[in-house]
Amino acid sequence: MTDLKQQIISIAKSVGISKIGFTTADNFDYLKASLIQSQEDGTNSGFEHKNIDERVTPKLLLDNAKTIISIAVAYPNKLPDMPKKSTYKRGKFSPSSWGIDYHDILTEKMSKLAQGISELTDEFDHKAMVDTGALVDTAVARRAGIGFIGKSGLVISKEFGSYMFLGELITNLDIEPDEPVDYGCGDCDRCVTFCPTEALNGDTTMNAKRCLSFQTQTTGMIDEEFRIKTKSILYGCDICQIVCPYNKGIENTPQTPIDPELAYPELQPFIRLTNKEFKEKFGEIAGSWRGKNVLQRNAIYVLANLNDKTAIPLLEEIAANPQNAVHQEAAQWALEKLSRRDKQNRPLKKRHKHGKLK
């Protein structure tokens, strides 16, 4: 099967897959205890596949499974072009949401890869997964030699850093597996130290509910701690990636065109978008899956974090409207923050010697 492996690698390269690796379809039994513990403690995000047995047993997903093909598609951490200067202050979507939704990108590339493999052999059977699938993508990628799992919980490679989207094909093919990489974090724990919410445990696991990426995607009202620490972020969080030494100097090529106006939208116009306008403008990016209400709530928090006093009329309008209780409360909170900062920054008036204000 050596020739088949090389042919698959060639197909992967031709369809724009950044890195490919192969591993057995053996169980990931070592994960089971931590997955159960995370579920019981409530420290997982809740977005994960619910059946833990399926998460660690590939043959429950494809009964004739022999080899898992892991793929990585690199994405950029810097915009090719920054947005133009504007009247309004801007918020930021994390790099994972720049360009077309990565689920669509990976699904298309894996479909092309699978089609190419099916033309090489008549006996090809497979099951494809991206992000929301049953298997733990990072565990598959580590075992297949894509990279190591850092203390951030992300897969990191020397070629692309941690800026990689992951997916896998469970297959019935009998292909020689690759070895895990021989490098790692060492003594570095910058991601753990700089995580603003102390979400990382330092052993590749985390309390997902404390991660700002989770908080920007959750519904309803969020705790003040997280509102403040999102700073200018509308969706996601990249601090653990920004501080990682493996990401220094990484310049990954965009998979699709990136509109800087969508990556860094003007906050006040963003908050005024209707459902139709939001879907038309932002519908293709990954962050749009949560819908406009959650993202507009985040934008209201960001206005306060950025001390944008020009937004006071808009915030007062939202604060007086009970139709959206979450937005109303967020606007009331933002107005309070802006008012408090204004009082703190107001210079003290001089006094006459008799104590009257000038």
Strand partners, 154: none
What does the block give as tokens for 202? 């330092």
**Contact present, 230 and 212 (Cβ < 8 Å):** yes
Hunting for tokens 């519908």 — which residue is that? 283
By the 8 A CB rule, do 181 and 145 touch?
yes
Determine contact, residues 205/192, Cβ cutoff 8 Å: no
Q: What are phi and psi of 57, to 5 degrees?
A: -130, 90
Contact 202, 151 (CB under 8 A): yes
Q: Cα 127 to the chain's mean position, in Å? A: 24
Give CA separation, 278 vs 198, 253, 263, 268, in Å: 33, 27, 14, 13
Q: Which residues are catalytic?
A: 131
Contact 158, 246 (CB under 8 A): yes
Which helix (H) or strand (E) segment holds residue 330: the answer is helix 325-345
Packing angle of the helix pair 312-319, 292-305 (nearest 10 deg): 130
Residue at 207: amino acid letter: N
